[in-house]
Amino acid sequence: MIHPTAEVAPDVDVDPSTFIWQLAHVRESVRIGRDVVIGRGAYVGPGVSIGDRVKIQNYALIYEPAVVADGVFIGPAVVFTNDRYPRAVNPDGSKKSAADWEPVGVNVLNGASIGARAVCVAPVTIGRWSLVAAGSVVTADVADYAVVAGSPARRIGWVGPAGEPLVAVEDSPDTYVCPRTGARFVCDSLEHLIEVE
C-alpha cells in the first residue's frame, strides 16, 4: 500500500506487502523488502537498500548509500548522515556539486533498533540486535548486542534479540543471560558478545 500523498520514484523495487505512508519520499533505485513500514514524512535517499520486516518511523531521514538489513527498527526523526566533511561551498567559495564529495553510508545489521531522534554519523555500522538509545549521536561502530547512549554514544550495557537488557551471571563475570528467553552470551577479550548454545 502506497499512500496517494507519498512520492515514490517509478523505478523503486518495492514488495506489495510494504506500507508507505503519507508524505513519505522514496527516491530513485531504492530496494525495499517484504512487510516494511515507512512512516509519514520519512525520506529514503537514492539507491538505499532496505531489508524485510523493517520499520522506519515518521520523519526519519535515511540518506544514501545506507544499507538497512532485515528486522531493523528506525525510530521517529532518526537521521543517517552521508557526508564526512559537509560544506555548502568549496574553499574558493564556489558552490559544491556532486563531484566535489563522496557519500559515505550507515550500515545497520539484522535486528538492530535505533531510538527516536538519534543521529548516526556516517560511516558507521550498527551491529546485529544492538540498541541505540533515543537522542544518541553515533560516531563510531556499534558492536552486536550493545546498548549505546549519549553524545557521542558509548556502550552502557548489552541487549538480546528479545529487546531486554541482558543480566550478568553472578558466578561468571563474562557471561550474560536474557531474562525473557534464557539465551546465554559470553563477552570475549575484545568486548564482543557472542551467543552460546
- Taking 80 as the threshold, does the pLDDT of residue 197 lie above it? no
- Domain assignment present for residue 1? The answer is no
User: Which has more pLDDT, 174 or 116?
Assistant: 116
Rounded mean pLDDT, 151-161: 96
Percent of the chain with pLDDT over 90: 89
- Domain assignment present for residue 41? The answer is yes
69: CATH: 2.160.10.10
Half-sphere exposure of 180 (CA within 13 A, CB side): 8
User: For residue 33, what are the domain limits?
Assistant: 7-159
Q: Which residues on neighbouring strands pair with residue 95, listed in sequence order?
A: 89
125 and 139 Cβ atoms separated by less than 8 Å: no
100 and 183 belong to one structural domain: no
What's CA 3's distance to the chain center, in Å? 24
137 and 146 Cβ atoms separated by less than 8 Å: no
Interval 80-126: pLDDT, tens: 999 999 999 999 999 999 888 899 999 999 999 999 999 999 999 99
71 and 130 belong to one structural domain: yes
90 and 20 belong to one structural domain: yes
121 and 189 belong to one structural domain: no
89 and 168 belong to one structural domain: no
